[in-house]
Amino acid sequence: MKKLKTILNYKYFNLILLSIIVIFIIISTLLEKQDSIYNETDNNFNLIIKDYKLTEEKITLTLKGKEDLIGVYYIKSNKEYTNYLKNLKYGLKIAIEGTLEKTNNNTIPNCFNYKKYLNNKNIHYILKINKIEIKNNKTNKLYQIKNKIN
């Protein structure tokens, strides 16, 4: 039986091994394209809040469901803002009514591409939220710790 040291000295073996690795890398990057589980016609969603950013104008939510979504809700009044400020927590189960929109490609060539950025995070749609309803105030232990930290 030949030793590994002598096998690796063969030029053809190294060339074949290198070409197999390159072909595998090319195929895996080209076939990695994943499609969304959601359809653009879906309107009602039951999701969990992974992350949120609350300003006086809007709420930006990172939501977990069948797949991750970015949700945007525009706040209509100051009373609504204070209500969400008190009640929004990480890990809340919420029912959302809204429309799914695909992200746009970058308009200026060779600049940041938000669509590619979201696709790398496996987020295929942005959810324009019309109505948010909190279904369950209970969160798991990990989200409770995250809520206490923030």
pLDDT of 143: 81
For residues 92 and 4, which has the higher predicted lDDT (pLDDT)?
A: 92
87-121 pLDDT, tens digit per residue, is 888 999 999 999 999 888 888 888 888 888 888 88
Are 60 and 14 in a shared domain?
no
Q: 8 pLDDT band (50/70/90 cuts)?
A: low
Same domain, 68 and 1: no
Tell me how far CA of residue 36 lies from CA of 76, 84, 113, 127, 131, in angstroms: 31, 29, 19, 13, 23
Query: What gap in Å lies between CA 74 and CA 81, rounded to an integer?
Result: 10
Q: What is the CATH number of the domain that holds 75?
A: 2.40.50
Residues 39-77 as b or e (16 or more Cβ within 10 Å = b) = eeeeeebebbbeebeeeeeebebbbeeeebbbbebebee
- Cβ burial of 129 (10 Å; 0-12, 13-18, 19+) is buried
> Does residue 87 share a domain with residue 26?
no
26/51 same-domain check = no
8 vs 71: CA distance, rounded Å: 54
Q: Are residues 2 and 55 in the same domain?
A: no
- 21/82 same-domain check: no
Report pLDDT for 7. Answer: 58
pLDDT tens digit sequence for 37-89: 888 888 899 999 999 999 989 999 999 988 899 999 999 999 989 988 888 88
Under a CB-based contact definition with an 8 Å cutoff, are residues 90 and 49 in contact?
yes
Q: Do 85 and 119 lie in a common domain? A: yes
Range of the domain at 67: 44-149
pTM over 0.75: no
pLDDT at 117: 87
